[in-house]
Amino acid sequence: MSMVVRRLGLSVLLVERGSHPRFAIGESTSPLTNLLLEEIATQYDLPFLLPLSTYGQWQRTYPEIAVGLKRGFTYYRHEAGNSFVGDEDRSTQLMVAASPSNEVSDTHWYRADLDSFFVNQAVDLGVEYIDLAEITNATTAGSEWKITGSRLDGEFEARARLLIDATGPRGVLHRLFRLPEAELPGFAPTQALYSHFSDVERCDELEAFRVSGTPPFAPDDAALHHVFDGGWMWVLRFGNGITSAGFSVTDNLAGELGLPGDVEAAWQRFLDRFPSIGKQFQDSKPTRPFIYAPRLSFRTSRASGAGWAMLPSAAGFIDPLFSTGIPLTLLGIERLGKVLGETWGARALGNQLLEYGEVTLEELDSTAEFVGASLHSLTSFPVFAAFSMFYFAAASYSEMARRLDKRRLVKRFLAADREDFRSGMYACIGAMPTVIADPSQKRVQEYVSLVARSIECLNVAGLADTDKHNWYGVDLQDVVRNAHKLEMTPEAVSRIIATADWAQF
């Protein structure tokens, strides 16, 4: 954000409470993330960001910045006390590819390296940067803000016409302005425990996870999820031998694991509860202390006001089950950059900031509704696998609409502005309790069919196809066959695909 504002010709002070390099959570990207990074880099003349948009370019250009390969999303369903069991229909797993090859794959960001890189680039662009600094007060002085704070070498003071908060949940402006919290709609409270680890086994090398057939990608070269009654676990691998892992669970399950309490003992209880996960982590060692989050989700009541705005990452935090955090924040940076570029110094700025805040909270709420329903569906994996298609349909459609210069067809994250799509999602949320309570084969089949019909308006990726048995690779011919949904002809889409650089897709 500071680099975008600097490129707009404004002076910028970037204040960091800690110092870099440092640990940070929020590491998994998606195709939309990479596309937004490309667009921001191009629009604001930040060419050094472009190689970060695909795994192959990143590895060649910045080998010193640790990164992980993310070919897609992998899910395994576990039962407490039992080893993972696969079957020919792959009814206990789900794999959805996000790219056709490693070269153009998404990535896992090793934040300690990447955040340091971002800060250094911002400083090179002329951003003034101070760290180990805590803001203690912000008051208005006419059309300006007066900021006061403390550093190791004493107090500091600054004046600014606009404050942008990127300090995360319950961050600096939420605290200083004493803003009340608001509930995320349809979202049950969750707790989390996580760290970074060495020596984590790969699932595709463990006997329990092996199945017949050739999967669309290596299961561990992805955002790997272990899901179970009461929550889920993430496993994200980086190329430096470190693996990010943690679990998000309901308050009831957290209590069974002994949280709050001895976090190392709680971690071991978790591994003991799910034997196949325990096998994967039997030789692992945490490389840093565990972090316990007694309340993972957060939403502020306001995200902007006169002379201030929060990035989506500061306005709210949703359970990271579908890697929504980074793309939501990049959408916020894109929108806020547009507001400042068009209205800085004009009277319209105030209204535009208010509208930005409203859109930010609306997108957080709509995303929370989807993720909350997904968490509820974890008690029935066939229902979860089916309902997840709403995310993958919206994500793939949004990316292709942007790639093909049809972004007017969908403007909000997860197609929140498409009434036909959203009404179908609400119908499936409404039907979910019944099929979870009675998960007979007939009811599950009816639910899968309902999801397929509901996503049809945006389904350009061949999703919700029972013949694929929960393995979804990338086939651009699916886009060609569904070209009309993008208001194009199959011939036009075929020509674009045939002549385009693969990195664009």
Please state, in angstroms and as integers, the Cα–Cα distance from residue 258 to each residue in 207, 272, 277, 383, following that order: 30, 13, 18, 29
Hey, what are 319's tokens? Answer: 């359970």
pLDDT score for 498: 85
Average pLDDT over the chain reads 96
Q: In this model, does residue 497 exceed pLDDT 90?
A: no
Question: What single-letter amino acid sits at 345?
Answer: G
Question: Which pLDDT tens digit goes with each residue over 220-279?
Answer: 999 999 999 999 999 999 999 999 999 999 999 999 999 999 999 999 999 999 999 999
pLDDT score for 504: 52
Contact 81, 228 (CB under 8 A): no
Q: How far apart are the first and last CA of the chain?
A: 26
Question: Which pLDDT tens digit goes with each residue over 92-135?
Answer: 999 999 999 999 999 999 999 999 999 999 999 999 999 999 99
pLDDT score for 505: 54
Dihedral angle over CA of 19, 25, 30, 34, nearest 10: 0
Question: Which pLDDT tens digit goes with each residue over 149-161?
Answer: 999 989 999 999 9
Cβ-proximal residues to 311 (8 Å cutoff; 6+ apart), any chain = 1, 164, 165, 166, 329, 332, 333, 336
Closest to 106 measured CA to CA, from 115, 96, 116 = 96
Cβ-proximal residues to 261 (8 Å cutoff; 6+ apart), any chain = none
Question: What single-letter amino acid sits at 467?
Answer: D
Q: In this model, does residue 378 exceed pLDDT 80?
A: yes
Sole residue written with tokens 């959203």: 422
Question: What single-letter amino acid sits at 246?
Answer: G
**What percent of the chain has a predicted confidence (pLDDT) above 70?**
99
Hey, what are 166's tokens? Answer: 């990127």
pLDDT score for 377: 97
DSSP 150-209: EETTEEEEEEES-EEE-S-TT-HHHHHTTPPB-PPTT---EEEEEEEEESPPPGGGSGGG
CA separation for the pair 343, 492 (Å, rounded): 37
Burial readout 175-213 (b: 16 or more C-beta within 10 A, e: otherwise): ebeebeeeebeebeebbbbbbbbeebbbbeeeeebeeee
Task: Tell me what the mean pLDDT of segment 436-453 comes to.
Answer: 96
- Geometric angle at alpha carbon 341, from 336 and 347, rounded to 5°: 90
DSSP 443-494: HHHHHHHHHHHHHTTT--S--S-GGGTTEE---HHHHHHTGGGGT--HHHHH
How is residue 25 annotated by DSSP? -
Contact 310, 304 (CB under 8 A): yes
CA separation for the pair 3, 126 (Å, rounded): 9
Contact 353, 304 (CB under 8 A): yes
Task: Tell me what the mean pLDDT of segment 325-329 comes to.
Answer: 96
Phi, psi of 211 (to 5 degrees): -135, 160
Task: Tell me what the mean pLDDT of segment 337-348 comes to.
Answer: 97
Closest to 107 measured CA to CA, from 42, 53, 36, 47 = 53
The helix (H) or strand (E) run that includes residue 265 is helix 263-273
Question: Which pLDDT tens digit goes with each residue over 5-43?
Answer: 999 999 999 999 999 999 999 999 999 999 999 999 999
CA separation for the pair 27, 228 (Å, rounded): 22
pLDDT score for 499: 81
Hey, what are 159's tokens? Answer: 């004046």
pLDDT score for 501: 62
Task: Tell me what the mean pLDDT of segment 66-73 comes to.
Answer: 98
The helix (H) or strand (E) run that includes residue 35 is helix 31-43
Q: In this model, does residue 503 exceed pLDDT 60?
A: no
Hey, what are 160's tokens? Answer: 């600014």
> How would you classify residue 470: left for phi > 0, otherwise alpha for psi between -120 and 50, otherwise beta?
left
